[in-house]
Chains A and B, each alone.
Chain A
Amino acid sequence: MFQMNSVSKVYRTDLIETHALREFNLHVKEGEFVAVTGPSGSGKTTFLNIAGLLETFDTGTYKLDGEDVSRLSDDARSRIRNQKIGFIFQSFNLIPDLNLFDNVDVPLRYRGMNAAERKRRINEALELVGLASRVKHIPSQLSGGQQQRVAIARALAGSPRFLLADEPTGNLDSLMARQVVELLEDINRRGTTIVMVTHDPELARRAHRNVHVMDGQVTDLQPFASRPLVRSEATA
């Protein structure tokens, strides 16, 4: 699926250098559900941004579906983000004055799909997350959990190769958090690879593997044998 080898990222200002990632190594297979944990400032978000092609890195290699994405142009990175990666954010990041249909529609527009195909995918995605009946509502009319489910629908509508989730339950109460996690598990069972950054150890235990990050490096890789890995039939 994707492979990071010795990836390093340094943030420089006039006064200080911050080594966000140092010799970061991670290989995620197709169909895996990987939880990335670590204390604040450990480099989890930087890893997520690099994995999602939202940021560049200084050294190392990053291969996504076998393609080296280190030196891609900005347009190429945007294209890959649109076609292969789905994002789920802690604060949902829905566009407040667009209804659910239009919110889920955003990434599909940038892919240049025709209207009929977009409509089909949007309805399917909202159906999957159980919000097909609220398609004309705007985000402010939904609960936090519902908003996060819309964000998941948006991430799924384009049939991405994998989902990147940054603290997906961070802003939810326990009931809603459980619903979202169950939804993510269901999505993973259907074959979508998921990489999730979380502070929540309970949530981390629901994944196949836990990757612990400390000071910009992977310090611990623990598989959870209790949950079998379900591979999709699609090749990586």
Chain B
Amino acid sequence: MFTYHLRLAIKSLRRNPVLSGLMIAAIALGVGVCSTTLTVYRLMSANPIERRNDVLYAVTLDNWGPQEPWSEKRPELAPMEVTHVDATALAASDIPTRHVVMRKTSFVADPSRISGTKPFLVESRLTTKDFFAMFNVPFRYGGGWNQAADDGAQSVVVLSSKTNQKAFGGGDSVGKILQLDGRDYKVIGVLDEWNPSPKYYDLNNGAFDEPEDLFLPFSIGEILELPPAGNVNCWRNQPLNSYQDMMNSDCVWHQMWVELPTREKVDAYQAHMDNYVREQKTLGRFERPLNNHLYRPDAWLELNRVVGNDNRVLVGLAFMFLAVCLLNMLGLLLAKFLGAAPLVGLRRALGASRSMIFRQHLIEVGLIGLVGGLLGVLLTAAGLLQVRTMYENYDGLTRLDFTMVLTALAIAIASGLVAGLYPTWRVCRTQPATYLKTQ
């Protein structure tokens, strides 16, 4: 019976092409707007490191000034970054399985000696060696550096896939030399395609930016006195006449993450942070009450409000728009089905039960939803393209993956069925005798 009802549904749609087109357009438009907003929201609110969510922790210490908190609107928060002094001190602990201390900087990369490519600016991340293992960063060629490279500030570099393409035309460039700010660095690894969105490991410097172009050992920054390229926040006026002053200051400009695989290690490290701060208080630092925290990635994303309220409001508005589209579709369906009531009366007279008529019309409604959904997916792709052209930083957020395609289709079919329930029910109430004489 299903294929029979499907045939009848197709015939019914063709019988009133304009009406059918309007209903399909209503669903498509509603689904298109909804799915576009939902796709961006979903990608913004995703946890790219969900698989390691239970073992990774962002470190925060409240070293802010006594007069006012880090955030006026949310006074309970500690700064999202740590000082160089505190990061270095905490990194010495052997409680975490792994740890990473990092910050942004920038270089002018010059591959011209090797590939003839002109020099270009690169966003770079100075990090300790565990960055790649902790954050599951995939390599296409080579790998990261070891402890010796960290300790010795070796001139090694890991390239992003895009930078490798730009500097060396793609391919295995491990062993090649890349000049950064006039100094030679040996390429030891090239990353595979990797674009976690949001960029959870450093939400304070472009949460939806692409990952950095280069990765180098953290200790190089100190040796070469590389200036920061990310956020630097200081709570007091203090002289910063030299790089050493910067490193010794109470300015927060480093990101720190630790890997703590068990509850015991988490508790131990929390106690270690608290003890450290208490000790620093005796030296006149940390004048605010104890407020040190470890945040798992999902909590970290929530804390930083990566998805703002305006995004949530947009999603709500999108669903309201879908509801309006469905109301329109309901009206059109009601007109169509009640207009075809004589045919329903005839079928009932010939032996169709109410449930058969209900199924027949529900299949028609489902078909409208499916076709509308397919068109809606196209509109979603167009919508995401438009978002991409308007907002450069949303490149990673405007991908329509298979999950979202299925979601869009499911929303369309479900919406169609919801809108079609009342008209279908109404037409099933048709008394067979009413229309037979007048058909």
Residues of A near any B CB (own CB < 8 A): 45, 49, 52, 54-55, 74-75, 78-79, 81-83, 87, 89-91, 93, 95, 97-98, 106-107, 109-112, 154, 158, 166
- B324 is an interface residue with CB less than 8 A from chain A: no
Collect the chain B residues with CB atoms within 8 Å of residue A74's CB: 353-354
Tell me which of B14, B15, B343, B350 contacts A107 (CB under 8 A).
Answer: B350
Q: Please indicate which of the listed interface residues B347, B350, B439 has the most CB atoms of chain A within 10 Å of its own CB.
A: B350
- B348 is an interface residue with CB less than 8 A from chain A: yes
Collect the chain B residues with CB atoms within 8 Å of residue A54's CB: 348-349, 431-433, 436
Are B351 and A110 in contact, CB atoms less than 8 angstroms apart?
yes
Tell me which of B11, B349, B351 contacts A79 (CB under 8 A).
Answer: B351
Q: How far is the CB of A87 from chain B (nearest CB, A)?
A: 5
Collect the chain B residues with CB atoms within 8 Å of residue A112's CB: 1
Collect the chain A residues with CB atoms within 8 Å of residue B4's CB: 109
Nearest chain B residue, comparing its CB with the CB of A78: B353
Are A49 and B433 in contact, CB atoms less than 8 angstroms apart?
yes
Residues of B near any A CB (own CB < 8 A): 1, 4, 11, 14-15, 343, 346-356, 431-433, 436-437, 439
Q: How far is the CB of B3 from chain A (nearest CB, A)?
A: 11
Q: Please indicate which of the listed interface residues A74, A110, A166 has the most CB atoms of chain B within 10 Å of its own CB.
A: A110
Collect the chain A residues with CB atoms within 8 Å of residue B348's CB: 54, 78
Nearest chain B residue, comparing its CB with the CB of A89: B436
Q: How far is the CB of B399 from chain A (nearest CB, A)?
A: 43
Nearest chain A residue, comparing its CB with the CB of B435: A93
Are A111 and B346 in contact, CB atoms less than 8 angstroms apart?
no
Distance of A154 Cα from B349 Cα, bound (Å): 12
Q: How far is the CB of A225 from chain B (nearest CB, A)?
A: 33
Distance of A55 Cα from B433 Cα, bound (Å): 7
Collect the chain A residues with CB atoms within 8 Å of residue B1's CB: 109, 112
Tell me which of A81, A89, A90, A91 contacts B351 (CB under 8 A).
Answer: A81
Can you spell out 15 A-B residue pairs with CB atoms less than 8 angstroms apart? A49-B433, A54-B436, A78-B351, A81-B350, A81-B351, A87-B349, A90-B437, A93-B346, A93-B436, A106-B347, A106-B350, A112-B1, A154-B350, A166-B436, A166-B437
Q: Please indicate which of the listed interface residues B11, B349, B355, B439 has the most CB atoms of chain A within 10 Å of its own CB.
A: B349
Distance of A154 Cα from B362 Cα, bound (Å): 26
Are B350 and A82 in contact, CB atoms less than 8 angstroms apart?
yes
Collect the chain B residues with CB atoms within 8 Å of residue A49's CB: 433
Distance of A49 Cα from B435 Cα, bound (Å): 12
Tell me which of A78, A83, A91, A109 contacts B439 (CB under 8 A).
Answer: A91
Collect the chain A residues with CB atoms within 8 Å of residue B439's CB: 89, 91, 93
Are B437 and A45 in contact, CB atoms less than 8 angstroms apart?
yes
Collect the chain B residues with CB atoms within 8 Å of residue A83's CB: 351
Tell me which of B14, B343, B355 contacts A95 (CB under 8 A).
Answer: B343
Collect the chain B residues with CB atoms within 8 Å of residue A110's CB: 347, 350-353, 356
Collect the chain B residues with CB atoms within 8 Å of residue A98's CB: 11
Distance of A75 Cα from B343 Cα, bound (Å): 18
Nearest chain A residue, comparing its CB with the CB of B347: A106
Nearest chain A residue, comparing its CB with the CB of B346: A93
Q: Please indicate which of the listed interface residues A52, A75, A107, A109 has the most CB atoms of chain B within 10 Å of its own CB.
A: A109
Q: Please indicate which of the listed interface residues B1, B347, B433 has the most CB atoms of chain A within 10 Å of its own CB.
A: B433
Q: How far is the CB of A103 from chain B (nearest CB, A)?
A: 10
Distance of A97 Cα from B10 Cα, bound (Å): 11
Q: How far is the CB of A26 from chain B (nearest CB, A)?
A: 18
Are B355 and A75 in contact, CB atoms less than 8 angstroms apart?
yes
Distance of A87 Cα from B346 Cα, bound (Å): 10
Collect the chain B residues with CB atoms within 8 Å of residue A91's CB: 437, 439
Q: How far is the CB of A110 from chain B (nearest CB, A)?
A: 4
Q: How far is the CB of B358 from chain A (nearest CB, A)?
A: 12
Q: Which 7 A-B pairs have the closest CB atoms?
A: A82-B351, A54-B433, A78-B353, A110-B351, A107-B350, A49-B433, A54-B432
Q: How far is the CB of A106 from chain B (nearest CB, A)?
A: 5
Distance of A91 Cα from B349 Cα, bound (Å): 14
Collect the chain B residues with CB atoms within 8 Å of residue A55's CB: 431, 433
Are B437 and A52 in contact, CB atoms less than 8 angstroms apart?
no
Q: How far is the CB of A114 from chain B (nearest CB, A)?
A: 12
Collect the chain B residues with CB atoms within 8 Å of residue A78's CB: 348, 351-354
List 8 additional A-B contacts (Cβ < 8 Å) besides A81-B349, A106-B350: A54-B348, A79-B351, A91-B439, A93-B439, A97-B14, A97-B15, A98-B11, A158-B351
Collect the chain A residues with CB atoms within 8 Å of residue B437's CB: 45, 89-91, 166
Q: How far is the CB of A74 from chain B (nearest CB, A)?
A: 6
Nearest chain B residue, comparing its CB with the CB of A73: B353
Are A79 and B433 in contact, CB atoms less than 8 angstroms apart?
no
